[in-house]
Amino acid sequence: MSGPAIELILMRQLASHLVMPIFVVDPEGNLLFYNEPAERLLGRRFDEAGPMPLAEWSTGFTQRDEAGATVRAEDLPLAVALREHRPAHRTLWITGDDGVARHLGITALPLEGAGGRHLGAVAFFWSLDERP
């Protein structure tokens, strides 16, 4: 395949216009994009991070569960959605590149195309510390 599927290009376009933090990966788990609201929670601009493989982005942030235990990369909602082709959700503490620990809710969905094509996955996340 010579680049991301059109559906992933459209997902990136949509994500770039939404205020909800969004993270998009291809079928192999390679990071394709995260939007500006996600940049604020991850502590790094996407322009600085750029596309990267699953092994890099899934371990690039310190991720802990509610009890403070390290969360394995394969147990992250986005990795579950990608591997098992099902929605996944959990809350985590993530320390971004800026050194700030943030309490996040994360919901990930597999992206499936026509004819059962597995296109990748998308994660939506939000700060649980911010009050309306």
Residue 2 token pair:
């010579």
Any domain includes 1: no
Structure tokens at 72: 């394995």
Position 81 pLDDT exceeds 50? yes
132 domain residue, yes or no: no
What is the CATH number for 59? 3.30.450.20
Give the N- to C-terminal CA distance of the chain in Å, as an integer: 44
The mean pLDDT of 94-116, rounded to a whole number, is: 92
Query: Is residue 26 assigned to a domain?
Result: yes
C-alpha 120/C-alpha 79 separation (Å) is: 10
pTM over 0.75: yes
- Tally the domains of the chain: 1
pLDDT at 130: 62
Domain that holds residue 58: 6-127
- Flag whether 25 is in a domain: yes
pLDDT for 132 = 46
pLDDT digits (tens, 9 = 90+) for 48-76: 888 888 888 877 788 999 999 999 989 99
Please report whether residue 15 resides in a domain.
yes
Structure tokens at 67: 């009890």
Whether 56 maps to a domain, the answer reads yes
pLDDT tens digits along 2-28: 667 889 889 999 999 999 999 999 999
Residue written as token pair 């992206």:
111
Residue 90: predicted pLDDT: 97
The answer to whether the beta carbons of residues 39 and 97 sit under 8 Å apart is: no
Coil, helix or strand at residue 74:
helix
C-alpha–C-alpha distance, residues 114 and 128, integer Å = 35
